[in-house]
Amino acid sequence: MLILISDAFDPSLPDRLSSFGEVTDDKSRLAEAEIVLIRSKTKCTREYLDSAPKLKMIIRGGVGLDNVDRDHAGQRGIIVDNTPEASSVAVAELAMALMLASINHVVAGHNGMVQGKWLKKELKRSELYRKTLGLIGIGRIGGEVAVRARAFGMEIVAHDTQVDSSPIAEILPLDQVLARADYISLHTPLTDQTRQMINADTIAKMKQGVIVVNTARGGCVDEAAMARALEAGRVRCYATDVWTSDPPPADCPLLGAPNMLMAPHIGASSKENLLRIGDLVVEKITNYVNKRK
């Protein structure tokens, strides 16, 4: 059996998988692979799957499966699995980091010092304490963000199409969350319903000077509308880890917009999370091999 590790996993993984068969990161050997391990970079399109005639299993180390053509994989009888439970803490901590970095001007203060500028008077901080956090999506990651935000003394409101009540957040219709929140943090998957759900209309319903944090998917936000809202000062900061493509193209309207805080899709990339993902991958391949016997 050939296991192809197509994206970045913990460096210990090849050794841990070697008892199952040959392990390679040579993508040109896709046609021989029985199991392919991916994260977000590899796109398992119809063409990709059709060039892997021996493929029986895809494991995505991470939450979303939007980079796999699951219909076509299903028709081919390829098992598609992921590790959704592993990444919640890692992503939630990045969401908090983006929120804190934006209101504390961490990047501007640091860059000022590097340039020999003492921006003490210019950089006016603000606090999370007693502010309202609006979560859009309160599943695994949104829930972990809520716990952390509560520890900062925030009031938490949330909108989720599948959740009616929560011990930690007041569940409200989307418009009310948008109207009440000082900070909005996105935690939905990318679906037909959530694609560009943050757009000119929904931004118009937000508070003046709101801070929007996105560790969900770039496609949940209309980037051109967000760039205009930043230019106008309507949104105080858009702090995002996610983009409509990785990396964003040079003409992405957000790259030149003011008051952006940008991360290169590192939400799931803590070393602890890579180890957790590795544990789950080993467990899933063990189960697959045992069933095959």
Q: Which residues bind ligand NAD (CB under 6 A)?
A: 62-64, 84, 87-88, 91, 136-142, 159-163, 187-191, 193-194, 215-217, 241-242, 265, 267-268
Task: Please tell me the distance from the alpha carbon of residue 198 to that of residue 210, in angstroms, as a whole number.
Answer: 13
Least distance to ligand NAD from the beta carbon of 262, Å?
Answer: 12
Nearer to ligand NAD, 193 or 287 (CB): 193
* Minimum CB distance to ligand NAD smaller for 5 or for 268: 268
Residue 215 has φ and ψ, to the nearest 5°, of -115, 20
One-letter identity of residue 146: A
Q: Name the residue with the smallest CB distance to ligand NAD.
A: 139
What contacts 262, CB < 8 A, 6 or more positions away? 239, 240, 254, 255
Residue 53's identity, in one-letter code, is: P
Work out how close the CB of 122 gets to ligand NAD at its nearest, in angstroms, rounded to a whole number: 31
Q: Quickly count: other Cβ atoms within 10 Å of residue 74's Cβ.
A: 11
**17 vs 158, which CB is nearer to ligand NAD?**
158
> Which tokens go with 53?
């005639």
Residue placing its CB nearer to ligand NAD in the complex, 1 or 136: 136
- Report in angstroms how near the CB of residue 281 gets to ligand NAD at its nearest: 16
How many Cα atoms within 13 Å fall on the side-chain side of residue 222?
13
What gap in Å lies between CA 13 and CA 277, rounded to an integer?
Answer: 10
Kindly list the strands in the beta sheet with 155-159, ordered across the sheet, starting from the edge strand earlier in the chain. Answer: 170-171, 155-159, 132-136, 183-186, 210-214, 235-240, 260-262
Write down the least CB distance from residue 89 to ligand NAD, Å.
11
CB 37 to ligand NAD: min, Å: 16
From 198, 194, 246, 251, select the one nearest 225 (Cα to Cα). Answer: 198
Dihedral sign, Cα of residue 17, residue 22, residue 25, residue 29: negative
Least Å from the CB of residue 163 to ligand NAD: 6
CA separation for the pair 207, 44 (Å, rounded) = 40
Beta strand ranges found along 15-128 (DSSP E): 22-24, 35-38, 57-60, 79-82
Q: Which residue lies nearer to ligand NAD by CB, 187 or 236? A: 187
Closest CB to ligand NAD among 62 and 109? Answer: 62
Shortest Å distance, C-beta 144 to ligand NAD: 8
Least gap, CB of 17 to ligand NAD (angstroms): 23
Query: Nearer to ligand NAD by C-beta: 61 or 109?
Result: 61
